Structure 1
């Protein structure tokens, strides 16, 4: 099961966080700081899976963004690794007019859209959808309604 999903820039600032089990706000801040420090300090040659406390971290770096997912011991690391890539591809497809340098700003200013994408892919910590067209369908409907 997925415990949390984070998007972080290279400076260690959290751009997106979604928790699938209850964690108190003050503990979230400490957890995010430790997780970010562990992932950002690793070189590109090191494995993208880290044993951390009672769970595992799976992360990928895309340009200036890190996507970090915390999972329990029963979850498949490679499936989560692919989920991260699929998530980034869906973001890329939806924000296709945005350059890599502006991705962080697109996420910040369209956080509701990014949460919709993530919610279409993951429900209660379980991967439920991977088809890009089905994931983006609700957003395209919202965009059409907004244009009208």
Structure 2
């Protein structure tokens, strides 16, 4: 029965909305930051997945992305060096909701042959303006304070 639930949960994780994945990314980053601020043992992927009921597949994807974005780093903690733990990679007083969302938005390549300067400038500018407004609204909310 537990395997059936887990399978169903994992299957649903393939259809996760962008908004919900962003929420889980914000949640995981915030949990890692808050635990670091308290001086407690850093989380492992399994601990985050089990404690907050996030499918392990999504948890590991998010941890990988946060590592690639240089928001968190992998660290060894305790006796078993095979178990990876996670802590903030930068000053926790600089990690705001806006900072995280901006890093997520700008991660990856935008170097395609689509004309965003003339032909599709209205569409591109509309997207950037929407993102900019969202960023400004969350500019001073630190993850450690959530």
TM over 0.5: no
Q: Which structure has the highest helix share of the two? A: 2
Q: Which structure has the highest strand share of the two? A: 1
- What's the TM-score once normalised by structure 2's chain length? 0.30
